[in-house]
Amino acid sequence: MPELPEVQTVVSDLNKKIKGEIIASFWSDWPSAIKNATLAKFKKAIKNSKILGARRIGKNIFIDLTGEKTLYIHLKMTGHLLIKSKVESRKLKVNTADHFQDRVNQYIHHIWQFKSGKRLEFSDLRKFAKIILVKTKEVEDLPEIKALGIDALDPHFTLAKFREILSRKPKALVGVLLMDQTLIAGIGNIYRSEILFLAGVLPTRKVGNLSKEEEKKIFLATKKILKKAVELRGTSDSDYRDTDGAPGGFQKILRVYRKAGEKCEKCDRMIESDKLAQRSVFFCPKCQK
């Protein structure tokens, strides 16, 4: 599932490429993804709406429209958004470097057609993603949004705030706490492993047993890893692609995630894996204490 860096990459792309576009029509062959409205009502409600901008809350994408309406999109496991120009949409241009031709980008189930000729296409292999049209003023009151903790890249997420969060869950394992979206929003399976490796802390450590220095190292590692991942346009561990259909770049510098059985780059020990919160976590038993 795309995490904070991947979703932020998509939102930044949306603001650069389709802000100001006007929706001419909408097509879908999987209307079950559209919640709280029939396909016909959804089409009618968004037609002729102008894109005001996109924003991210946790791992959720919100595209604000005129008429005080907002498209709420959650990519789930395999969803990703592709933006195509008029020429690309009509397949009049052949380019061997065209990422849109990659297999992972071929599962198009929803298309927003804009009056300019551009298209926003939604590829979703497993069809788990969801699309909801909500009133803009009600976005913050959505149950799944109200339940979120502070965003991991929010300026207000300071070391003091992190320590306050840790103090609430002294018996929790740090590898589980970092993925608890009700406490800190945006961190998932990939980045918790990388954060804790950089911090030198085992994911199975109890929060209450962390030293002040270890707390600081985890906090600083969180900011550093997520900012670097945003800079590299996310991690393409599986189906994630950016709006050009291209993979991210952070997977090229992963140090422990999915590297069980390989030698740690810092020492001669093998990277190991374990299950925490029903997900695999990766670590070096020598470099992390």
Q: In the annotation, is 269 catalytic?
A: no
Task: List CB contacts of 85: < 8 A, sequence separation 6 or more.
Answer: 117, 118
How confident is the prediction along the chain (289 residues), in pLDDT tens digits per residue?
899 999 999 999 999 999 999 999 999 999 999 999 999 999 999 999 999 999 999 999 999 999 999 999 999 999 999 999 975 554 544 454 589 999 999 999 999 999 999 999 999 999 999 999 999 999 999 999 999 999 999 999 999 999 999 999 999 999 999 999 999 999 999 999 999 999 999 999 999 999 999 999 999 999 999 999 999 999 998 899 999 999 999 999 999 999 999 999 999 899 999 999 889 999 999 999 9
Q: H helices then E strands: how many in the chain?
A: 8, 13
**Which one is catalytic: 56, 59, 192, 205?**
59
Quote the Cα angle for 278-282-285, to 5°. 125
Q: In the annotation, is 6 catalytic?
A: no
DSSP single-letter state for residue 253: G
Q: In the annotation, is 126 catalytic?
A: no
125-150: pLDDT as tens digits:
999 999 999 999 999 999 999 999 99
How far is the C-alpha of 84 from the C-alpha of 116, rounded, in Å?
11
Q: In the annotation, is 214 catalytic?
A: no
How far is the C-alpha of 114 from the C-alpha of 210, rounded, in Å?
52
Superfamily of domain 4-146: MutM-like, N-terminal (3.20.190.10)
Burial class (CB in 10 A: 0-12, 13-18, 19+), 100: buried
Instruction: For the chain, give every domain's residue range.
Output: 4-146, 150-283
Tell me the CATH number for domain 150-283: 1.10.8.50
**Which one is catalytic: 43, 55, 216, 279?**
279
